[in-house]
Amino acid sequence: MGSIVLEQVTKSFGETQVIPPLDLTIEDGEFAVFVGPSGCGKSTLLRLIAGLEDTTSGRVLIDGADMTEVSPSKRGLSMVFQTYALYPHMTVRKNIAFPMRMAGMSEAEQEKRIMAAAESLNLTDYLDRKPGQLSGGQRQRVAIGRAIVRDPSAFLFDEPLSNLDAALRVGMRIEITEMHARMKTTMIYVTHDQVEAMTMADKIVVLQAGVIEQVGSPLDLYHTPRNLFVAGFIGSPKMNFIEGPEADQRGATTVGIRPEHIDVVEGPGEGIWSGTVGVAEHLGSDTFFHIHETGLAETMTVRAVGNVALRHGDAIHLRPREAEMHRFDAEGLRMS
């Protein structure tokens, strides 16, 4: 069991309010991802839930119980840190055993859980090594092992993969997602990487300057972003934004269209945009075009399926899919 509710939570450092009053509910068993640019307050929010930072006002409820004034050690949560934060003077076995030893669990039970965790995380051969003798990926596994053995009511992950190289990151991402599917424990995961957010989350919380911009499933956010910020933040490559006559014509201040919703067509014509290819990225499976001189936006990005044989300097003609167009008003809010 591990539902987490934030009620009118605020956080100030001195005079600066980094989190204005905020409400959020994370259901039991949910995989929630806090995503946003650096400095948006996502880590602070996680640390407020963990109890590592005190709230300035408001309440933090875990499983319905008010935990606002409870110390981190008594909240029943586990945390995995970006820097792993393993105990360098202890072996892997002792690192994993540490929270259980602190909880006064029997030696036999500790050993049983260490072996189970080590097996599921491929650490069996490394139990007697110290963290300094492990690679980054292995260290992160130990940190996860230390988090799972005590059966927390929720896991908190603070950018756990950002110190790993790209290949390892994808692998660990899948492992964590599988772990969640298996354990069905509430997880809160902080990242600045929207791909991680999209691939892992049941629920994404998009933050900017301490304010929740939108909460929803990955596809909700993709299909119906509530405002320009979310529209621009979710999706890769970024959504194209067009102002001026094209927007006016559709009754909006700004229209947005994702690169994958624009088709490359032959020749100019009615409702067709034309421009010049700046950079063409040929990936084989897809081709990404960065297009100039469209008269719509400085650079338009288009994703074409398969290989399209256009190069730098070539003329290109585009037809947007009208149904996939997003319309925003003068405040940047979505128009239905």
Partner 1 sequence: MAIVAQSTRRGRISRATFAWIVGLLFFFPIFWMVLTSFKTDADAVKPEHLFFFTPTLENYLNMTENYDYWRFAQNSIITAVFATIFALAVGIPCAYAMAFNPARGTKDILMWMLSTKMLPAAAVLYPMTFLTKSLGLFDTKFLIIVVLMLINLPIVIWMLFTYFKEIPKEIIEAGQMDGVNTWGEVREILIPLAWGGIVSTALLCFIFCWNEAYWTVRLTTTDAATLSKLIEGNRAPEGLFFGRLSAVSTAAVGPIVVLGWFCQKQLVQGLTFGAVK
Furthest CA-CA distance within the chain: 76
Of 225, 230, 234, 246, whose CA–CA distance to 297 is shortest? 246
- Looking at 77, 176, 204, 302, which residue binds partner 1 (CB under 8 A)? 77
Is 65 near partner 1 (CB under 8 A)? no
CB closer to partner 1 out of 2 and 99: 99
Count CA within 13 A, CB hemisphere, residue 184. 1
Distances (CA, A) of 315 to 180, 197, 318: 48, 36, 10
- Looking at 26, 79, 121, 142, which residue binds partner 1 (CB under 8 A)? 79
- Looking at 85, 168, 308, 325, which residue binds partner 1 (CB under 8 A)? 85
User: At which residue do the structure tokens 């585009």 appear?
Assistant: 318
Applying CB under 8 A, the span of 26-34, 50-58, 243-251, 270-278 interacting with partner 1 comes to: 50-58
- Looking at 5, 28, 58, 81, which residue binds partner 1 (CB under 8 A)? 81
- CA 73-74-76 angle, 5° bins: 95
Both tokens of residue 160? 């756990």
- Looking at 146, 192, 326, 334, which residue binds partner 1 (CB under 8 A)? 146
Both tokens of residue 24? 């959020």
Both tokens of residue 189? 């995961």
Contact (CB, 8 A) for 331 and 254: no
Is 12 near partner 1 (CB under 8 A)? no
Is 67 near partner 1 (CB under 8 A)? no
Applying CB under 8 A, the span of 95-103, 161-169, 192-200, 212-220 interacting with partner 1 comes to: 95-103
- Positions touching partner 1 (CB under 8 A) are 50-52, 71-74, 77-79, 81-83, 85-89, 98-99, 102-103, 146, 150, 156
